[in-house]
Amino acid sequence: MGFSVGEDLFSVLVVTGLVVVFVAALTHSYHVYVERRNASEDFDLALDIAERLRDQVLMGQGDQLGLLELSHERLENYSRILVLQGINLRVEVRTLEGELLFAHGSEPNALEGYFSPPVGVALPVIVAQDQSSAAPCALSVRVWRG
């Protein structure tokens, strides 16, 4: 190409720099777009899992909708199925005052959290305590891919 050293080369450098900035902006926008899509998909997944825990996995023996019976064994079996699909699960049940009643699954570590930020949902549930009493609690489900 017939450029002359001086202002022509400077113009080319400026325009090239401009293109690089625009490419970086485009990459960033795409990253944000993908992150939003993944967050939405993960939120749907977390909600699906929370509903399944509420309506099937942890449902009390009387098949009373909304009444939960906490069981590590049932959760362990369900978590294994999710792990096979590359999904990690942390379940917590807290009283309405925030006191932790039950927890299952490990917390996401920093590295896992960086690549797939955990997404969580919380639903109000009733937890059976003994034959005659039940307490209002919050079922919190966090999922992340690993």
Q: Using the rule CB under 8 A, which residue among 45, 49, 53, 54 binds another protein?
A: 54
| The one segment of 81-89, 99-107, 110-118, 128-136 that binds another protein by CB under 8 A | 128-136
Q: Using the rule CB under 8 A, which residue among 72, 76, 109, 136 binds another protein?
A: 136
Residue 110 is a binding residue for another protein (CB under 8 A): no
Residue 47 is a binding residue for another protein (CB under 8 A): yes
Minimal distance, residue 21 CB to another protein, in Å = 8
> Between 27 and 109, whose beta carbon lies closer to another protein?
27
Residues 6+ apart with CB under 8 A from 113: 144
Q: How far is CA 62 from CA 53, 59, 65, 69, in A?
A: 16, 8, 9, 10
> Between 44 and 76, whose beta carbon lies closer to another protein?
44
3-28 b/e with 16+ CB inside 10 Å = b? eeeeeeeeeeeeeeeeeeeeeeeeee
* Residue 65: half-sphere exposure toward Cβ, Cα within 13 Å: 1
Q: How far is CA 106 from CA 54, 72, 79, in A?
A: 20, 13, 11
Minimal distance, residue 115 CB to another protein, in Å = 19
d(C-alpha 143, C-alpha 92), whole Å: 12
Q: Using the rule CB under 8 A, which residue among 49, 93, 121, 143 binds another protein?
A: 121
Residue 100 is a binding residue for another protein (CB under 8 A): no
Minimal distance, residue 77 CB to another protein, in Å = 23
